[in-house]
Amino acid sequence: MLLEVVCPGVPALENALQGGAQRIELCSDLSCGGITPSPGLTKLALEISGVPVFPLLRAREGDFVYSENEKKAMLYDIAAMADLGVHGVVVGSLTPALDLDLAFVEAAKKAAGDLPITFHRAFDVCNDFKQAAKDLYDLGYGRILTAGQAPRAAEGLDTLRELVALKERPMILAGGSIRLEQIDDLLEVGVDEIHTAAGTTEEGVYSRGFFAPGYTSVDSGVVRAMIERLETKEI
């Protein structure tokens, strides 16, 4: 059972690796759920990580219904990230009716080529999750990051169980405010992998009234404890 840690910057990345993260989802600005990380952050992550790095490709905060130019920008980003040498990418887009944006989903897979590709939590607000999972499987997506169409994975266990039971589906990467004490429930459901922010807030070093000094990071101890729990359950 693999633990993926989402990292919104260098301190989070360093702490996630210190805690033993087994895959990194790289992004910026986790306060809005994450947007595309910079090329510099991505290059650094590839230099210092001994584990796979999957950048999130998300054009902006907010909903997952994108304009044609926003989608074009994300496709350019996929190509740019592939050139940097990332190990996979994370994408997603919906139509205004909240169905999968199949044209973009297919174009993103084509742009990614042989890179593994994950569909992100746009899945949790799409219609007909079973059909969506089948469509993503047919298009060659390797994973779905999902909380079972709930705000938090602990509230979506029934839907996660239904997804796991599907015969034709990508891997189910459970994510959504997952805490250490919820690991056992997710293992019982049978998800394939677990995604966590293991979040903490660093205080920063100064405050002069212009900008708040704190920033989001990763608690390396939580990452380590989650991995230990997963390893114990696998024995």
Taking only the tens place, the pLDDT of each residue in 176-218 is: 999 999 999 999 999 999 999 999 999 888 777 778 888 999 9
Q: What is the DSSP string of 166-235?
A: -SS--EEEEESS--GGGHHHHHHHT-SEEEE--EEEE--S---SSS---EEEE-HHHHHHHHHHHHHHH-
Decide which of 222 and 204 is more confident. Answer: 222
What fold does the segment set 2-234 form as a domain? TIM Barrel (3.20.20)
Which residues are paired to 193 by β-bridges?
Answer: 2, 173
Please give the structure tokens belonging to residue 11. 């301190």
Q: Is the dihedral of CA 202, 176, 13, 60 positive or negative?
A: negative
* The pLDDT of residue 234: 67
Q: What's the whole-number average pLDDT of the chain?
A: 96
Please give the structure tokens belonging to residue 33. 């759920």
Whether 229 shows a pLDDT value over 90: the answer reads yes
* The pLDDT of residue 88: 98
Whether 11 shows a pLDDT value over 70: the answer reads yes
Q: 3-state DSSP call for residue 154?
A: helix
| Residue 114 DSSP label | T
Which residues are paired to 216 by β-bridges?
Answer: 201
Q: CA–CA separation, 98 vs 55, rounded Å?
A: 24
What would the mean pLDDT of 222-227 be, rounded to a whole number?
98
Q: How far is CA 14 from CA 11, 74, 131, 174, in A?
A: 5, 26, 38, 23
Q: CA–CA separation, 116 vs 150, rounded Å?
A: 25
Tell me what percent of the residues of the chain surpass a pLDDT of 70. Answer: 99
What is the C-alpha R_g of the chain? 17
Q: CA–CA separation, 98 vs 110, rounded Å?
A: 22
* The pLDDT of residue 212: 84
* The pLDDT of residue 91: 98
Q: What is the pLDDT of residues 69-103, one digit of tens each?
A: 999 999 999 999 999 999 999 999 999 999 999 99
Rounded to two decimals, the pTM is 0.95
Nearest to 71 by CA among 97, 103, 45, 49: 103
What 225-228 contacts at long range (C-beta under 8 Å, 24+ apart), as own/partner pairs, is 225/180, 226/3, 226/180, 226/183, 226/194, 226/196, 226/198, 227/3, 227/19, 227/20, 227/22
User: Measured in whole angstroms, how far is the alpha carbon of residue 58 from the centre of its chain?
Assistant: 11
Please return the burial class of 138, using the count of CB atoms within 10 Å of its CB with bins 0-12, 13-18 and 19+.
exposed
Q: CA–CA separation, 74 vs 70, rounded Å?
A: 6
Whether 235 shows a pLDDT value over 60: the answer reads no
Whether 148 shows a pLDDT value over 70: the answer reads yes
Q: What is the pLDDT of residues 26-78, one digit of tens each?
A: 999 999 999 999 999 999 999 999 999 999 999 999 999 999 999 999 999 99
